[in-house]
Amino acid sequence: MVVEDEPNIADLLDMYLREAGFRVLQGATGARGLELVEHHGPALVILDIGLPDVDGFEVCRRIRARSAVPVLFLTARDGEIDRILGLELGADDYVTKPFSPREVVARVKAILRRGQPEAARAEGGLLRIGDDFEVDIGRREVRRRGDAVALATREFDLLAHLTRNQGLALSRQQLLDGVWGADWYGDDRTVDVHVRQLRKKLGDDLPLATVWGIGYRLG
């Protein structure tokens, strides 16, 4: 999404972004930008600071109150850069005017890549477990011999984590940290319960072994 009140700049960015394969929404005011964020959930916001109604700083603040969408600031003055860096608005990057549209597209791609889990970058996010299972990270879908199997959110996350670390024995604590996060107050049984569900839903063909005294190993 491009929030920029100068039509020439907005159209230029629009053109280059479309050429790079992105769909682009334009908003010429801060208010319109916020409305678009609300209703369209863009993957990234390119945000001009000098807008006719509220400035880009305020727009960013309001976006941040409800969304973690990456924000790339367009700035015209050095003083604005200091503010971007100083206010800790959660801006992901900035470019100064005048800019090269190619440079902006490159920054956009870099930011979007950063936001993706490691595995989703490889092979379009499609991971395999043996011949029978596919884990589609992007679509959050698991298929057994082509048929989708419905998994709960954490079950999917656990399977994805195990798949990314195929062949490695992972302790229950490593799995808790990797899937639930280090600040999760669960215990080992949380992992066991989810493993049991995975085995039940995906069947005996799933090569998920219990490693005694350690935890689990996939593949």
Residue with the closest Cβ to Ca ion?
50
How far apart CA 215 and CA 211 sit, in angstroms, is 5
Distance CA 175, CA 191 (A): 7
The DSSP 8-state label assigned to residue 178 in this structure reads I
Is residue 80 part of the contact set for Ca ion (CB under 5 A)? no
Cβ 58 to Ca ion, closest distance in Å?
14
- Taking contact as CB under 5 A, which single stretch among the options 2-10, 83-91, 96-104, 210-218 is the one that binds Ca ion? 2-10
State the residue for tokens 């949380």.
190
DSSP state of 122: G
Quote the CA–CA distance of 135 and 205 in Å, as a whole number.
15
Which of 14, 48, 80, 155 touches Ca ion (CB under 5 A)? Answer: 48
Do 96 and 75 meet the contact criterion of CB atoms below 8 Å apart? yes
Whichever of 50 and 115 has its CB closer to Ca ion, that residue is 50
User: CB-wise, 33 or 215, nearer to Ca ion?
Assistant: 33
Closest CA to 40 of 72, 67, 9: 67
The answer to the question of residue 53 lying near Ca ion (CB under 5 A) is: no
Starting at the earlier edge strand, list the strands of the sheet with 208-211.
169-171, 215-218, 208-211
> Which residues are CB-contacts of 82 (< 8 A; sequence separation ≥ 6)?
none
**Three-state DSSP state, 174:** helix
Interface stretch with Ca ion, choices 3-11, 146-154, 173-181, 198-206 (CB under 5 A): 3-11
Name which position in 12, 24, 50, 197 contacts Ca ion (CB under 5 A): 50
Q: Taking the complex as a whole, how short is the minimal distance between the CB of residue 74 and Ca ion, in angstroms?
A: 8
Which one of 24-32, 45-53, 130-138, 147-155 is the stretch in contact with Ca ion (CB under 5 A)? 45-53
Total site size for Ca ion, rule CB under 5 A: 3
Contacting residues toward Ca ion, per CB under 5 A:
5, 48, 50
